[in-house]
Amino acid sequence: MKQTVTRLLSISLFALLFASGCHSNKQQAVVEAPPAYQPTPVSAPISLPATVAAAPKLTEVQDAVRRIFKDAAVIDNSHNPSFVAGDFNGDASEDIAIVVKPAKLEEMNQELPPWLLREPRVNHTKPVRLKILKDEKLLAVIHGFGDNSWRDPEATQTFVLKNVVGNDIKVQSGKEFVEANAGRKLPRPKGDLIGQNLQGTNGYLYFAVSTYAWYDPKTFNDAQDAPGVFHRARTMR
């Protein structure tokens, strides 16, 4: 009888140990097994290229003309192109050059206009009061201001240029200008240039120190880069 009881106890103890071992192995398997769901690694943020300046729209250019001239001048839509954009004074802000014509001649010739009237192709040795003529084609260059460049309501620094509206008006970078005129005496432009054909001559308008000058490859000399009158926008004075 004792042997039977002892045997039963041994069998029960063995069964208990076996069950305990299996349970332990199951727990270990549950702990060590990787979860069925693995989170997706977070991707590094993508660096987008700098936004390219949008091409000028006619409505935007019309707004800029009204801001500067009110109703004294309008865009000359007969000229193609009638406006081009670029960094003409080299301050890293986009400017706009617009072919305009007077709508109210008296206001365009007011004594103290809010723009600078210049004649880049003529070297005036003495101060001369320039006058705008009826139906004259003018090039108005509005310099950019702030993040919105020439579109900004505070962009009021404007040059009005006489006798420099030709054909095939286009913007050229300083690098393109140097490559196109290799071997010639060159000015030191501050930014982009405005290339065009004027009365049969291919030349360039460029910002020289503080005003606009005309570069004719055949007649240029270093004296044309002499400093002129500095002009600040009214909002910066």
pLDDT of the residue at 14: 53
The residues, any chain, with a CB within 8 Å of residue 92's CB and separated by 6 or more, are: none
pLDDT tens digits along 154-186: 999 999 999 999 999 999 999 999 999 998 889
How far, in Å, CA of 221 to CA of 85, rounded? 27
pLDDT tens digits along 33-53: 544 444 444 434 443 333 346
> DSSP letters of 17-35?
HHHHHHHHHHHHHHHHSPP
Q: Cα dist. 62→68, 91, 109, 172, 234 in Å?
A: 10, 23, 21, 24, 21
Contact call for residues 211 and 159 (beta carbons, < 8 A)? yes
- DSSP-derived letter for residue 50 is P
Collapsing DSSP to helix, strand or coil, 59 comes out as helix
Query: What residues does each domain of the chain span?
Result: 58-236
pLDDT of the residue at 43: 39
The β-bridge relationship of strands 73-75 and 201-208 is unpaired
Say if residue 8's pLDDT is above 70: no
| Buried residues in 4-40 as b, exposed as e (16+ CB within 10 A) | eeeeeeeeeeeeeeeeeeeeeeeeeeeeeeeeeeeee
pLDDT tens digits along 179-236: 999 988 899 888 999 999 998 999 999 998 889 999 998 888 765 554 443 333 333 3
pLDDT tens digits along 89-139: 999 999 999 999 999 999 999 999 999 999 999 887 778 899 999 999 999
> DSSP letters of 126-145?
S-----PPTT--EEEEEPP-
**Cβ neighbours, 10 Å, residue 161:** 22
**Cβ neighbours, 10 Å, residue 223:** 7
